[in-house]
A = this chain, B = another copy of it.
Amino acid sequence: MVARAFGASGFILADVKDDEVKDVVQKISASWGGRFDFVMEIPWKQAVTEWRRKGCLVVHLTAYGENIQTSDVMTRIKAAGKDVLVIVGSQKVPKAFFFSEVSDYNVAVGNQPHSEISALAVFMDRLYEGEELGREFDDAKLRVVPQKHGKRVAKS
């Protein structure tokens, strides 16, 4: 849901099959619109190889990487002008994620321990320079009408 809300075109749940996650993603997209690809079960190595072959940069988000704020890593990523495959691990990730056979960049959304999902949100917010949070999703059945106070949802 974070990937979708922050403007990703899709999400790969590598190595794992989880029909519950798939259902949630499909229901959210059906109600709130937009196109969002969801793939699961594919081994992570295969996903990385495929997307690299298509010309993607691979960015691994990790607290051990180059600091998104104090280094020039975002400038270099943006300057490349390529599509980006973001890798977010859960718990312990394979050592290879940290090296250039897998990741072009290791980016730290701060070097303090926190949450992978928050790192993803902030990375994407900075990658798209905030634009993603203002965009409309096509074919939405439900749409929030922003309010200073209270809740309003429009149906179409």
User: Interface of A with B (CB < 8 Å)?
Assistant: 1-2, 4-6, 28, 32, 62-71, 98-100, 103, 105-106, 108-115, 117-122, 125-126, 130-134, 137, 143-144, 146-153
Cα distance, A98 to B5, chains bound together (Å): 22
* Copies assembled: 2
Q: Specify the main secondary structure of chain A where it touches its partner.
A: mixed
Quick one: given A125-B125, A134-B70, are A147 and B64 in contact (CB under 8 Å)?
yes
- Identify which of A112, A113, A130 gathers the most chain B CB atoms within 10 Å of its CB: A112
Cα distance, A108 to B115, chains bound together (Å): 20
Nearest-neighbour CB distance to chain B for A155, whole angstroms, equals 15
Q: List 9 A-B contacts (CB under 8 A).
A: A1-B114, A1-B115, A5-B112, A6-B118, A100-B149, A109-B133, A111-B146, A117-B118, A121-B121
